[in-house]
Amino acid sequence: MAAAVITLVIRATIIDFYYIGSASMESTLNPGDGLLVNRLAYKSEPIKRGDIIIFDGRGSFLPYQSPNAVDSLAWALRLAGNDSVYVKRVIGVAGDTVACCGPDGKLSVNGHPLDEPYLYAGDKPSEQEFTAKVPHGRIWVMGDHRSVSEDSRALLGAPGGGMISVDRVLGQAREVIWPLDRKRPVGDGTTEPDTASAPE
């Protein structure tokens, strides 16, 4: 029992482990990858563009519903899955204007084209045109496999406008640790830090 409690505390506060179950982040993260997540990443540092985050989609991607105690315990111990948890890349943070697409076919952040070497081969930055201003306390997220990813674009016009509350972020993806032959650091994916900076 003590070991289970210690495991719960570690997973809830320090380091957690997730399996990738969808293709929305290919080829950065592939179905079946086991992902190490740092729960402490944003306790002292802000969320940055390019970060790959794990977040609770209730209240944004999904209607808000409080989990019961039994479901929460089963999920924490990995005895059951949790369909409300998502993994995406941060494209815009508070104060940013994210838009697609410019004459060059690229996403832009604050009017500057965004270089995205992590995009799935053959995908465009977005088939959907949009302009979104990210308010305080929110972030704009997208999958790397844009043609199959359900992300902030799918929620345009909905309450919150596709923005994810920073309070719902559970941690930062740091490393693929399973299977062993695919073990690798995830990296932060940050590109063009000077030209895509947030407005003063």
Q: What is the pLDDT of residues 26-82, one digit of tens each?
A: 999 999 999 999 999 999 899 999 999 999 888 777 554 555 554 444 444 443 345
Reading the block at residue 159, the tokens are 């309450």
The chain-wide mean pLDDT, for the chain, equals: 82
Amino acid at 102: G
Q: What is the pLDDT of residue 61?
A: 73
Set 84, 88, 106, 152: catalytic member: 88
1 — pLDDT class (breaks 50, 70, 90): low
DSSP state of 82: -
What percentage of the chain has pLDDT greater than the value 70? 75
Active site residue 88: yes
Given CA atoms 161, 153, 125, 116 in this order, what sign does their dihedral have? positive
What percentage of the chain has pLDDT greater than the value 90? 64
Reading the block at residue 47, the tokens are 């969320």
pLDDT tens per residue across span 140-169: 999 999 999 999 998 888 777 789 999 999
Mean pLDDT of 185-189: 72
Active site residue 24: yes
Mean pLDDT of 100-108: 94
Q: Under CATH, which architecture does the 2-185 domain have?
A: Ribbon (2.10)
Between 193 and 108, the higher pLDDT residue = 108
Task: Please name which of 195, 175, 169, 189 lies closest in space to residue 33, comparing C-alpha atoms.
Answer: 175
Set 24, 60, 126, 152: catalytic member: 24
